[in-house]
Amino acid sequence: MQQFLVPQFIDVEDKIIGPITTRQFVMVLIGVFITFIEYKIFAFAYFALLGILTLGLTAILAFAKVNGRPIHFFLLNFLQTSKRSTLRVWNRDAYVRLVHEVQSEIKEVPVKKVTKSAVSGSRLRDVALVVNTGGVFEGEELDQFMPGK
């Protein structure tokens, strides 16, 4: 049987430059690019103000964590939660209608009863030997190793 290496820490991101992960590096790179575009478009006074804001926001998005998770996951979850309605109403009629539709689609499947035969003492001894040896001995092989059989 072929063996495979199973990754152990799949939630840890790969580090590329010291403690900086690939995600953080790309975010900082995008922030620097946006700051460069601001430098080319605006006068120096406006650029200085916008550049500090842009790089600060980029640093927060890249490096800040909330409850051990990156802040952009927190912001995404916050937006999804705020879009959902806060009031949830139980519609019993729709639920009953759905249950009846599902029950009408399900067909009755006959259940077959399985009868088990009684376990004899000799069979129990065979099973115990198989379990104790870790499955090395099979039932047919036991006859030659068991005295008195």
pLDDT tens digit string along 75-117? 999 999 999 888 888 888 888 888 888 877 776 666 777 777 6
**Residue 12: per-residue pLDDT:** 75
Sign of CA dihedral 134, 140, 145, 148: positive
**Residue 120: per-residue pLDDT:** 58
**Residue 24: per-residue pLDDT:** 93
Indicate if the pLDDT at residue 57 is higher than 90: yes
Q: How is residue 42 annotated by DSSP?
A: S
Checking DSSP bridges between strand 15-17 and strand 20-21, what pairing results, if any?
antiparallel
Q: Name residue, tokens 């879009």.
A: 83
Least trusted range by pLDDT, from 62-76, 91-105, 132-146 = 132-146
**Residue 45: per-residue pLDDT:** 95
Least trusted range by pLDDT, from 3-7, 79-83, 133-137 = 133-137
